[in-house]
Amino acid sequence: MSKDLPRIVCPIQRAALLVADVTVIVIVRELRAGPRRFGELLLANLNPRTLSDRLQRLTQEGMVDRTRYAESPPRVEYGLTPKGMALLPVLQALQTFGENWLPVAAAVPDPAPSMNSSDCLEVVRRESDPGAAFDHPRTMTISQEQPPSPAVEDPYQSSR
């Protein structure tokens, strides 16, 4: 995929090929609060295989840094690079569009009915501990009492 990007003339098409993927957008949303471990990113209801593939792609494209710590057991964290952070205004625009034009269905109970775009960003800003799981009330379906399983490993991690 990334080898095709330089051949595409349209910058919108090039960007869309890289980031117009729900998993990529969710990864960037989760990483905007700071570095996260693979298991923490899984809390956003992402498929482990898809998450690993997209993290590898974003790392190759220079949008995400992969930092490996020499600990036992090994610890790997993913964080946004300046190139990845350049997508944050795009996420803000998507959030604003979603709030203005795609309302939550009345039949779906909303845990934070008064939340607006500035509140959503504040949830992220309050999450200053990079080791803590990101708690986004509109996407969390895993109970907060259940910590992420330490046995979940990043398949991409084992290949290095």
For 6-33, the pLDDT digits (tens) are 788 898 998 898 899 999 999 999 999 9
Residues whose CB falls within 8 Å of the CB of residue 37, separated by 6 or more in sequence, listed in order: 75, 76, 77, 78, 131
For 71-105, the pLDDT digits (tens) are 888 899 999 999 999 999 999 999 999 999 998 88
Which two structure tokens, joined as six digits, stand for 21? Answer: 């993927």
Whole-model pTM: value is: 0.65
Do the Cβ atoms of 79 and 59 come closer than 8 Å? no
Which two structure tokens, joined as six digits, stand for 16? Answer: 């869309």
Enclosing H/E stretch for 91: helix 88-101
CA-to-CA dists, residue 51 to 45, 108, 127, angstroms: 10, 27, 22
d(CA 148, CA 40): 7
d(CA 21, CA 28): 11
